[in-house]
Amino acid sequence: MEVRLNPSKEQYIPLLNKVFDGCEDLNLEMEASIASKSNQGNFLFQVEGKNTAFASTFTSAWHPYCIYVRLAYEWKTEDFLSIKEVVEYLKKTYQKPLFFLLDDRFCVLRKVLDEKDFELIRETEIVRIKPVNVLKGSGGLLRTVSEIKGEASLENSFVKLCKRLYTETHMDNPVAELPDKKWRSAIFDGLLEKYSYVVELDGSIIGFSLVYEPDPVGWELGWLGVEDVERMDLLEGMLNEQLRNAFEEGVAFIEKEIDSTCPYSLHLKQITNYEVMETLFSYRST
């Protein structure tokens, strides 16, 4: 197998156009990796002069302890040996573990990774929940993020809880040590503050459920969790408010990524009806 490091676009684009025909999402992800300031190298793999695979690698400021890999190859290939050689080459190239985020289209690569000392560290279901006209609750300890914004002590408690729970649910792909200011920026970026809820008790935030609007017809249920897993019931109260809000606003769906490593997301499957849209698989080399 011949490997071309950082090939020209003219060299690799024919393969990408063929492989990603009808897969615009993957094409955009690959283009983003190639153009990224954190790009760590691009590789064109050839067998007997024929383009077999193309890989682009990059790092993440939030999860800096792995090398992220985007890989393109012909979906229906039966040349498992070549894909194995690609993976082995990349493993030898980097000292950090490799990280792949794959969907069902990558069945060949998934089989290879299962055989090549990669660990399936997380499965993520992308689900959609239909908004319903839930009866308005008594409110109790619930407050919207817009209501606590500007209250320094509550904002600080809120950000620290988000940081703690996210870190605890991503131990297999650890989070960088970042200042609270960075966390706050990430939490509030695109946040629908009016429809995002927190639970306040004795001057502290003990639960949160945050929604964003990445889609013109739907909301995304993003960060959520509770300080004490014995209080999972708080999630149901916040979700019901958001379902009612979404119904009143004419939102078609609320989408959520449910990670197998996140007990708070998994709890949603027990308390609401949903439709699974797709499943993602996170692999890390050992």
The encoded tokens of residue 105 equal: 């289209």
Mean pLDDT of the region 237-266: 96
The C-alpha R_g of the chain, in whole angstroms, comes to: 21
Same domain, 151 and 244: yes
Q: Where a domain ends, among 116, 137, 154? A: 116
Residue 179, CB half-sphere, CA atoms under 13 Å: how many?
3
Is 121 within a domain?
no
Same domain, 143 and 268: yes
225-237 per-position pLDDT tens digit: 999 999 999 999 9
Provide the pLDDT for residue 12. 97
Which CATH number belongs to the domain containing residue 38 in this structure?
Answer: 3.40.630.30
Same domain, 156 and 88: no
Same domain, 142 and 63: no
Other C-beta atoms lying within 10 Å of the C-beta of residue 102: 18
pLDDT band, very low/low/confident/very high, at 139 (cuts 50, 70, 90) = low
Is 218 within a domain?
yes
Same domain, 157 and 91: no
Strands (E), the chain: 2-5, 39-47, 50-58, 67-73, 98-102, 118-129, 142-144, 197-201, 204-212, 218-226, 253-259, 275-285
Is 123 within a domain?
no
Q: Residue 99: is its pLDDT beyond 70?
A: yes
Same domain, 141 and 84: no
Same domain, 168 and 101: no
Is 18 within a domain?
yes
pLDDT band, very low/low/confident/very high, at 215 (cuts 50, 70, 90) = confident
Same domain, 221 and 241: yes
User: Which pTM value belongs to this model?
Assistant: 0.92
Is 104 within a domain?
yes
Provide the pLDDT for residue 72. 98
Same domain, 139 and 232: yes
Q: Residue 39: is its pLDDT beyond 70?
A: yes
Q: Where a domain ends, among 116, 140, 158? A: 116
Provide the pLDDT for residue 249. 95
Q: Residue 138: is its pLDDT beyond 60?
A: no
Asked whether the beta carbons of 16 and 34 are under 8 A apart, the reply is no
Same domain, 77 and 157: no
Q: Residue 4: is its pLDDT beyond 90?
A: yes
pLDDT band, very low/low/confident/very high, at 79 (cuts 50, 70, 90) = confident
Provide the pLDDT for residue 136. 66
How many domains would you assign to the chain? 2
Same domain, 205 and 259: yes
Other C-beta atoms lying within 10 Å of the C-beta of residue 139: 9
Q: Where a domain ends, among 67, 89, 116? A: 116
Is 122 within a domain?
no
Report how far residue 12's alpha carbon sits from residue 18's, in angstroms, rounded to the nearest whole number.
10
In 3D, which of 125, 142, 124, 130 has the Cα closest to residue 219?
A: 130
The encoded tokens of residue 49 equal: 């002069």
173-213 per-position pLDDT tens digit: 999 999 999 999 999 999 999 999 999 999 999 999 999 98
Amino acid identity, position 40: Q
Is 168 within a domain?
yes
Same domain, 139 and 176: yes
Provide the pLDDT for residue 77. 86
The answer for residues whose C-beta is within 8 angstroms of residue 132's C-beta and 6 or more apart is 243, 244, 247
140-178 per-position pLDDT tens digit: 689 999 999 999 999 999 999 999 999 999 999 999 999
18-30 per-position pLDDT tens digit: 999 999 999 999 9
Provide the pLDDT for residue 274. 96
Q: What domain range is 94 assigned to?
A: 2-116
Mean pLDDT of the region 31-36: 98
Higher pLDDT, 258 or 79: 258
Provide the pLDDT for residue 273. 93
The encoded tokens of residue 179 equal: 């200042």
